[in-house]
Chains A and B, each alone.
Chain A
């Protein structure tokens, strides 16, 4: 049996325009709920704000001499180099929290109550992802503003900063799609939290913490294939080098491409879950 995902209200309304309006209203309501949930439970999201900064501070003290190594890009300080990695790291970890929140909704039955109501099924998912996007954009801005007093300069100026913040938001959706898919597949917050090591590995096998040019062998090959490398390098270029359309494309297009794949996967999982009911 194949389940069809419909926007609940749209399916009931004979007028498509009314259906779209209702769909948008419902999606907005779900988005507001997930954003408020983040704001109301700071303890849940604090680690994804603190740890990336902690790692950046550690790296700045541990690897400051590494910036002179052959292959290392020209940077004012290691902290300027590390900021892009911190942003992506924070967004990745924050997305796990978002996915876990969806899994908790499934565990405590709230998800079933939503499904029983005339609410758009896609809106439930998009609402969650909107929360991830808002938090991702906030993280990008937060990390940048915290590190600026320590000597980090955004070479691409305010426009570049806007692109970085947008990239944080889109990356939040992209990774949030994967964690939402996992939540829908397993219905277990523990399983979603268990994806943390996978994201940790994905981060380390990229140029998030060190440039690809300094890596060798199989690590280099994996980092070359890892889309996170190109995302981080796009953001890093905007921070270190200045405004360039190639950097903008990397910072925006790469997470969009990941997001298309992850949302498709999440919708598939949602469809499977509905079919199983």
Chain B
């Protein structure tokens, strides 16, 4: 019987349990991952200064964008007369993305302090070193998206697509968090220091803004229109907005699901390869 360490102490079993390698491999991976996810969540309490900005930024963004750019809803053909309905899903996706990037930051800290080396030496399933942080990012995403939604509804957002719209928003949140986690972990494993942090934020920020983030495609012109049309994040934002811009339709949904599946798989592969290279 072996025990993996966590930040609470070198010999304390994660989640109050230890890892029995005689159990089914799938079960071990899940238990190890759950342990690492819980450790990641504990860091919210221990280091709130690292999580609070990731929570506050999307809330501030939703409020600020919907107030500042209120007038664009007056453009003929704009899909809603409430600017918060347009910007709330964007803020949720930003929050989801930064939940994933936050996991990348934690991993960099673990790499710099040497804790990650201890994790790798422990007889922990390798997959759990990626799945654990990913589960942690999903839970962070749920906290952030739910908080942003609550503020959004409080300042006037109206759900037009029913429960399915909310489901689509959370699916988009899970997708963005997965893509951001994979990307952030991959960069963290390769660069191994805080240089990766700047790169994670910058690339994610650009990827999400080079879409229909600020205005619908038909309102855009020039280079941004060309990029936004082919940027898969545009489809994810379309999926996230389905509940806030009329009724939920399959036409607005499937593109986002395909983008999440494709980019999620690619990002996870990027992280996996990074972890393998780190081992070598």
Complex interface: stretch among B57-65, B111-119, B163-171: B57-65
Q: Report whether A58 and B224 are in contact in the complex, using a CB–CB cutoff of 8 Å.
A: yes
Shortest Cβ distance from A211 into chain B, in angstroms?
Answer: 8
Cα A215 to Cα B68 in complex, Å, equals 6
Q: Report whether A210 and B69 are in contact in the complex, using a CB–CB cutoff of 8 Å.
A: yes
- A202-260 contacts to B, CB under 8 A, are 204-205, 209-210, 214-219
Q: Report whether A197 and B57 are in contact in the complex, using a CB–CB cutoff of 8 Å.
A: yes
Among A54, A65, A197, A209, contact of B219 (Cβ-Cβ < 8 Å): A65
Residue A64 CB within 8 A of the other chain? yes
Among B56, B64, B202, B219, contact of A62 (Cβ-Cβ < 8 Å): B219
Complex interface: stretch among B70-78, B176-184, B232-240, B270-278: B70-78
Residue A60 CB within 8 A of the other chain? yes
Q: Report whether B60 and A201 are in contact in the complex, using a CB–CB cutoff of 8 Å.
A: yes
Number of interface residues of B (CB under 8 A): 28
Q: Report whether B65 and A204 are in contact in the complex, using a CB–CB cutoff of 8 Å.
A: yes
Q: Report whether B57 and A204 are in contact in the complex, using a CB–CB cutoff of 8 Å.
A: no
Residue A110 CB within 8 A of the other chain? no
Residue A190 CB within 8 A of the other chain? yes
Residue A66 CB within 8 A of the other chain? yes
- B31-70 contacts to A, CB under 8 A, are 49, 53, 56-57, 60, 64-65, 67-70
Shortest Cβ distance from B155 into chain A, in angstroms?
Answer: 9
Residue B225 CB within 8 A of the other chain? yes
Q: Report whether A219 and B49 are in contact in the complex, using a CB–CB cutoff of 8 Å.
A: no
Contacting residues, chain B, for A190 (C-beta < 8 A): 49
Among B60, B71, B219, contact of A210 (Cβ-Cβ < 8 Å): B71
Residue B250 CB within 8 A of the other chain? no
Cα A204 to Cα B69 in complex, Å, equals 10
Residue A13 CB within 8 A of the other chain? no
Interface of B is mostly: helix
Residue B222 CB within 8 A of the other chain? yes
Contacting residues, chain B, for A209 (C-beta < 8 A): 68-69
Interface of A is mostly: helix
Contacting residues, chain A, for B68 (C-beta < 8 A): 204-205, 209-210, 215, 219
Residue of A nearest to B215 (CB): A62
Residue A157 CB within 8 A of the other chain? no
Cα A169 to Cα B70 in complex, Å, equals 32
Contacting residues, chain B, for A66 (C-beta < 8 A): 71-72, 75, 219
Shortest Cβ distance from B167 into chain A, in angstroms?
Answer: 28
Among A59, A69, A215, contact of B67 (Cβ-Cβ < 8 Å): A215
1/0 per position for B72-112, CB-CB distance to A under 8 A? 10110000000000000000000000000000000000000
Shortest Cβ distance from A236 into chain B, in angstroms?
Answer: 15
1/0 per position for B199-230, CB-CB distance to A under 8 A? 00010001001100011000111111100000
Contacting residues, chain B, for A117 (C-beta < 8 A): none
Contacting residues, chain A, for B57 (C-beta < 8 A): 197
- B148-187 contacts to A, CB under 8 A, are none
Q: Which residues of B contact A (CB under 8 A)?
A: 49, 53, 56-57, 60, 64-65, 67-72, 74-75, 202, 206, 209-210, 214-215, 219-225
Query: Can you list 11 contacts pairing A with B, beta carbon distance less than 8 Å?
Result: A54-B206, A57-B223, A59-B214, A62-B224, A63-B72, A65-B219, A69-B72, A72-B71, A204-B65, A214-B70, A215-B70
